[in-house]
Amino acid sequence: MEPDFPSSGTFVSSIKESCRIVTEAAHIKVEDAAIKRLLESPSFRSSFHRVSGSHGLAFPLKFFSLLSELNFLSVLSLLNFASGYRVPLHEQTGRGAWDNIRAFTFSLYLSSATGQGDLLSAKGMKTMSEQQVAQHMGVTIHVERPHEKITGVTVGELGGPIYELVKLISSTLTETGQILDAAGYSELGGFVLESLKEGAKADPSASLGIVLERLVRAIPAFRDMAVVNGKPVYCFKKALFLIHAVKIRFGSSPPFPIPSTAQAPVFTDNVLPSLLVHLGVLDLTGATSHGLHNLFPGAESEDKINTLLHLPPEASQVVTQDTKKTPPKDGPVLTTEQAYVLRAAAVRACEKIVEYARGDGQNSEEQTWLKDITLPELDIWLWAVAKDRPDYRKLERFVLRGTVFF
Ligand SMILES: Nc1nc2c(c(CN[C@H]3C=C[C@H](O)[C@@H]3O)cn2[C@@H]2O[C@H](COP(=O)(O)O)[C@@H](O)[C@H]2O)c(=O)[nH]1
């Protein structure tokens, strides 16, 4: 069930507030001691600067114009989902969700440049078929089954998890393309640009919320919100990610207005909450109402947490490469409600981590950098460190299929 939108002007505060309420109601604990343990850990200390800076959003593509690059980033962000298909994607393509989406968007861009029609325009998106999506992703959407009558013969038919994902991508593109086209925008980037300009008319502290609100109200694939136990939860992960991606890419000398994202809630997906559970920040032991306490068995073990918070075990190059090739294992498969509760808890935990880091008297002289960490930096650290260490790569992330939000 979808809740009403937050009231106008409160989109950012509604994320923070709704996530706090849901986390507390679910009895998920985020203790100061657990935050301190993370922030003081050798793992965090030794990797934060290196890992949180590796954003990977400058692309090896030649763009015709600023607007075409803004459009590319916008479509990429619109499609920043598929985490629930990580394992089948790995099996077929050897890459995870994000890398597949990136490669797919690249492919759309590159074939547009060769004159096959602009697939990243509103009109191109509007007519994007399942076949086109599968072709540009380089995936098979047929599954084999034995012929009913003839033994030894198999027939291929449309089906399987990758087909499910292809349908989600195709419908996201067609729906968004239709809306943009009907409203007179030739591409998503143009709509985003207009929203950024609209945001700049407001007080700087309100700009982020204005831009977010415009994206969410206009495009259903950005309406990442739900009702859990009668209460609304707002996450808006892809829309926030889009705005921050624009900030990362264009923020150093902005060619158009870009709001500050320093206080933006984290872009909550499956990776953030799963990692925060494994690193001992989210304590699910009391969260029995949604059955969350059973999802990650053994994750509350102090020994396990302390090992993960230590420096990574010395690994030879060969071992690291091997773990990159081995397909990951799926974590627990969640219901939509469970996923929203955990994602809300990650938003809440990250708020508390940053608050704690800022707090007076927590940091000694040589740790003053900690005071300045921002929510998006913390997001990127969590997200990227999960891929950076071989032992973290193996940690299970939860799975939700059928969503276009993360
Ligand atoms: N919270 C958060 N979630 C993020 C990202 C990104 C993209 N990160 C790159 C872009 C800019 C950053 O600086 C990173 O270099 C993807 N995802 C989510 O992960 C999901 C899992 O994907 P995988 O593990 O591949 O299967 C994917 O469906 C998507 O929902 C992020 O940054 N933050």
Distance of CA 161 to the CA centre of its chain: 19
In this predicted structure, what is the pLDDT of residue 28? 98
Under the banding of pLDDT at 50, 70 and 90, the label for residue 165 is very high
Candidate from 216-230, 309-323, 370-384 with smallest mean pLDDT: 309-323
Mean pLDDT of 294-304: 95
- Contact between 78 and 152 under an 8 Å Cβ cutoff? The reply is no
Pairing type for strands 225-228 and 231-234 reads antiparallel
Give domain status of residue 403, yes or no: no
In this predicted structure, what is the pLDDT of residue 246? 97
d(CA 192, CA 231): 30
In this predicted structure, what is the pLDDT of residue 185? 97
- Contact between 339 and 291 under an 8 Å Cβ cutoff? The reply is no
Under the banding of pLDDT at 50, 70 and 90, the label for residue 321 is low
Maximum mean pLDDT: which of 4-13, 64-73, 152-161, 363-372: 4-13
- pLDDT over threshold 70, residue 74: yes
DSSP secondary structure letter of residue 220: G
How far, in Å, is the centroid of ligand 1 from the Cα of 96?
Answer: 10
- Closest residue to atom 15 of ligand 1, CA basis: 55
How far, in Å, is the centroid of ligand 1 from the Cα of 83?
Answer: 9
Give domain status of residue 111, yes or no: yes
Give domain status of residue 404, yes or no: no
If one counts the domains in the chain, the total is 1
Compute φ and ψ for 146, nearest 5 degrees.
-65, 140
Q: Is the CB of 81 under 6 A from ligand 1?
A: yes
Give domain status of residue 46, yes or no: yes
Give me the sign of the Cα torsion angle 62, 64, 65, 70.
negative
Question: Average pLDDT of the chain?
Answer: 93
C-alpha distances out from residue 64 to 67, 68, 72, 347, Å = 8, 6, 11, 37
In this predicted structure, what is the pLDDT of residue 322? 52
One-character DSSP codes across 337-400? HHHHHHHHHHHHHHHHHHHHHHSTTSS-GGGGGGGG--HHHHHHHHHHHHHHSHHHHTS---B-
Q: Is the CB of 383 under 6 A from ligand 1?
A: yes
Compute φ and ψ for 310, nearest 5 degrees.
-80, 175
The residue type at 108: L
Give domain status of residue 400, yes or no: no
Domain span at residue 158? 11-393
- Closest residue to atom 21 of ligand 1, CA basis: 83
- Closest residue to atom 16 of ligand 1, CA basis: 98
Under the banding of pLDDT at 50, 70 and 90, the label for residue 315 is low
Collapsed DSSP state (helix, strand, coil) of residue 268: coil
Collapsed DSSP state (helix, strand, coil) of residue 225: strand
- pLDDT over threshold 90, residue 327: no
pLDDT in tens, 86-132: 999 999 999 999 999 999 999 999 988 666 669 999 999 999 999 99
In this predicted structure, what is the pLDDT of residue 310? 96
Neighbour-count burial of 126, counting CB atoms closer than 10 A to its CB (0-12 exposed, 13-18 middle, 19+ buried): middle
- Contact between 266 and 255 under an 8 Å Cβ cutoff? The reply is no
- pLDDT over threshold 70, residue 218: yes
Give domain status of residue 299, yes or no: yes
Stretch (H or E) spanning 142: strand 142-146
- pLDDT over threshold 80, residue 275: yes
Region of 223 on the Ramachandran plot (φ > 0 left; ψ -120 to 50 alpha; else beta): beta
- pLDDT over threshold 60, residue 319: no
Give me the sign of the Cα torsion angle 22, 306, 52, 318.
negative
Mean pLDDT of 301-306: 97
In this predicted structure, what is the pLDDT of residue 363? 59
In this predicted structure, what is the pLDDT of residue 40? 95
d(CA 182, CA 274): 39
Nearest-atom number in ligand 1 for the CA of 238 is 30
How far, in Å, is the centroid of ligand 1 from the Cα of 362?
Answer: 30
Mean pLDDT of 44-65: 87
How far, in Å, is the centroid of ligand 1 from the Cα of 19?
Answer: 20
Collapsed DSSP state (helix, strand, coil) of residue 110: helix
Q: Is the CB of 379 under 6 A from ligand 1?
A: yes
Q: Is the CB of 267 under 6 A from ligand 1?
A: yes
User: CA nearest 236: which of 210, 256, 263, 265?
Assistant: 265
Residue bearing the bigger pLDDT, 68 or 60:
68
In this predicted structure, what is the pLDDT of residue 150? 93
Mean pLDDT of 16-34: 98
Name the residue of 76, 106, 271 whose CB sits within 8 Å of the most ligand 1 atoms, as the mutation to test its pocket. Answer: 271
Nearest-atom number in ligand 1 for the CA of 83 is 28
Name the residue of 269, 323, 375, 388 whose CB sits within 8 Å of the most ligand 1 atoms, as the mutation to test its pocket. Answer: 269
Q: Is the CB of 406 under 6 A from ligand 1?
A: yes
Mean pLDDT of 352-374: 82
d(CA 296, CA 285): 10
- Contact between 320 and 390 under an 8 Å Cβ cutoff? The reply is yes
In this predicted structure, what is the pLDDT of residue 360? 61
Give domain status of residue 406, yes or no: no
Mean pLDDT of 42-59: 88
Give domain status of residue 401, yes or no: no
How far, in Å, is the centroid of ligand 1 from the Cα of 152?
Answer: 42
In this predicted structure, what is the pLDDT of residue 323? 52
d(CA 391, CA 381): 16
Residue 23's contacts (CB-CB under 8 Å, 6 or more residues apart) are: 30, 341, 344, 345, 348, 349
- Contact between 349 and 281 under an 8 Å Cβ cutoff? The reply is yes
